[in-house]
């Protein structure tokens, strides 16, 4: 069975768990937190020298980091990956947007808001900058989702899961989604997918 | 023929041009700069509402943004893309790392250093933060490249091109590569690839 090292409250770590739930892929969860120094402990750094979660470890010991690369590997050949090359590239376009424009604003602002351990980093200037950049990223999503039910078109792809992870937590970072009706309808569509599970879901021990 | 809208001095815009050079893909370049407001002009925003370059436009009008997604689309089936799914995911792992940890530190610090238009954003605190985060990203690369000639192993992939773009310009952002011998040897290996072309290269008009 595969193992996913992750922090239960992290959107990046939620992505592969959510995909596993949707696809019925069994996995073992190992909790490693960035808040208590767990990601920097020698035993974990030996697995991932970057000291980051999530980390996927295959049964044969091969390791993969970066949440969106893990999604692509686990989603290979599934209904969440377009077979047509241009549609596949459009999916990746949104996933790169997520790791560049979105995660470093929407997710970062939530992190500096909800984790007491990080609040000393939340200077007014930084929070204002993160708000402006996060709102700009949400505008990009809103525009797209006003035109199609999912980011790449009619069907959900890995891009929707990647962007759902932190967008559905955006209000915890102080972002006002009441001005984003298309995003809110899209969040509902993701949550209505069969076998959708919430952020802190873990498989039953005996099922894993 | 495909069209690549881009700013000649941008590493992100260099990526697809470099891949086209290496693979012999003809393209038409249209210069659009973020420095003179070109990326925010209505005619360009009509093509890419994000107001960002590079932008790939296919002959039939379909459009793709995000430099690394463009690499994946143009590189499909080429020698720079591993066919084996796990190796392909490892390539993407480095490409997501590039857009998250590397581009927003190494590239950003260069941008705030070399472009007069942006120097008012280069506060001492911000430059110190970018230096620390950029150096950490370079350490991750140095560690990997001390063990293998290219990021995913024995052969160059799109990940090497994606990370080459701003790493070969890192010194312009104040990063000291003299402490990164493995990175410097790797830069030399990329530059020795047949048909490698430098940052500001453009195809001859009659060949395009």
CB contact under 8 A, A140 and B86: no
Q: What is the rounded average pLDDT of the residues B130-134?
A: 97
Q: What is the CATH architecture assignment of B85-191?
A: Up-down Bundle (1.20)
Cβ-nearest to A86 among B62, B66, B101? B62
B135-146: average pLDDT:
98
- Domain residue extents for chain B: 2-75, 85-191
Task: Determine which helix (DSSP H) or strand (DSSP E) holds A12, and give its type and residue range.
Answer: helix A11-23
Burial degree of B105 (CB within 10 A; 0-12, 13-18, 19+): buried
Query: What are the tens digits of pLDDT across the range A130-139?
Result: 999 999 999 9
- DSSP SS3 for B68: helix
pLDDT band per the 50, 70, 90 thresholds, residue B207? low
Q: Which of residues 152-191 of B touch A (CB under 8 A)?
A: none
For chain B, positions 120-159, list CB contacts with chain A under 8 A: 140, 143
Per-residue confidence (pLDDT) for residue B208, from 0 to 100 = 46
Mean pLDDT on A173-181 = 97
In chain A, what residues touch B89 (CB-CB under 8 Å)? 64, 69-70, 72-73, 76
Angstroms from A96 CA to nearest CA on chain B: 7
Please give the biggest Cα pair distance in chain B: 48
Say how far apart CA A150 and CA A81 lie, in whole Å. Answer: 13
- Which of B92, B106, B135, B157 would you mutate first to test chain A, the one with the most A CBs within 10 A? B92
Instruction: Say yes or no for a CB contact (<8 Å) between B66 and A97.
Output: yes
pLDDT at position A205: 75
Architecture of the A2-75 domain: 3-Layer(aba) Sandwich (3.40)
Give DSSP secondary structure letters for B154-192. Answer: SS--HHHHHHHHHHTTGGGGT--GGG-HHHHHHHHHHHT
ipTM at complex level = 0.96
Give the confidence band of B71 by pLDDT, cuts at 50, 70, 90: very high
| B104 interface with A at CB cutoff 8 Å | yes
- Give the closest-approach CA distance of A183 to chain B in angstroms: 17
Same fold flag, A2-75 and A85-191: no
Residue of A70, A96, A129, A142 to mutate for B, most B C-beta atoms under 10 A:
A96
- A53-90 burial: b if 16+ Cβ within 10 Å, else e: bbbbbeeeeeebbbbbbbbbbbbeeeebbbeeeeebbb
Among B72, B99, B143, select the one facing A89 at the smallest CB separation.
B72
| Whether the predicted pLDDT of A208 surpasses 50 | no
How far is the C-alpha of B191 from the C-alpha of A110, rounded, in Å?
A: 41
- pLDDT value, residue B187: 98
Q: Is the Cβ of A92 closer than 8 Å to some Cβ of chain B?
A: yes
Q: What is the pTM for the complete model shown?
A: 0.97
């Amino acid at each position: 069975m595969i193992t996913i090292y992750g922090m239960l409250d992290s959107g990046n770590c939620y992505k592969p768990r959510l995909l596993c739930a949707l696809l019925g892929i069994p996995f073992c969860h190992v909790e490693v937190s960035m808040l208590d120094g767990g990601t920097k402990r020698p035993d974990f750094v030996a697995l991932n020298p970057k000291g980051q979660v999530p980390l996927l470890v295959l049964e044969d010991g091969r390791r993969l980091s970066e949440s969106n690369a893990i999604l692509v590997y686990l989603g290979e050949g599934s209904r969440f990956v377009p077979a047509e090359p241009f549609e596949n590239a459009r999916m990746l376009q949104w996933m790169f947007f997520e790791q560049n424009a979105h995660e470093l604003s929407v997710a970062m602002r939530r992190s500096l808001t909800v984790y007491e351990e990080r609040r000393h980093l939340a200077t007014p200037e930084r929070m204002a900058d993160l708000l402006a950049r996060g709102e700009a990223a949400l505008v990009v999503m809103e525009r797209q989702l006003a035109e199609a039910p999912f980011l790449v078109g009619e069907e959900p792809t890995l891009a929707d899961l990647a962007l759902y992870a932190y967008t559905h937590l955006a209000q915890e970072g102080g972002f006002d989604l009441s001005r984003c009706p298309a995003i809110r309808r899209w969040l509902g569509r993701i949550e209505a997918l069969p076998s959708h599970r919430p952020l802190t879901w873990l498989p039953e021990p005996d099922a894993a």
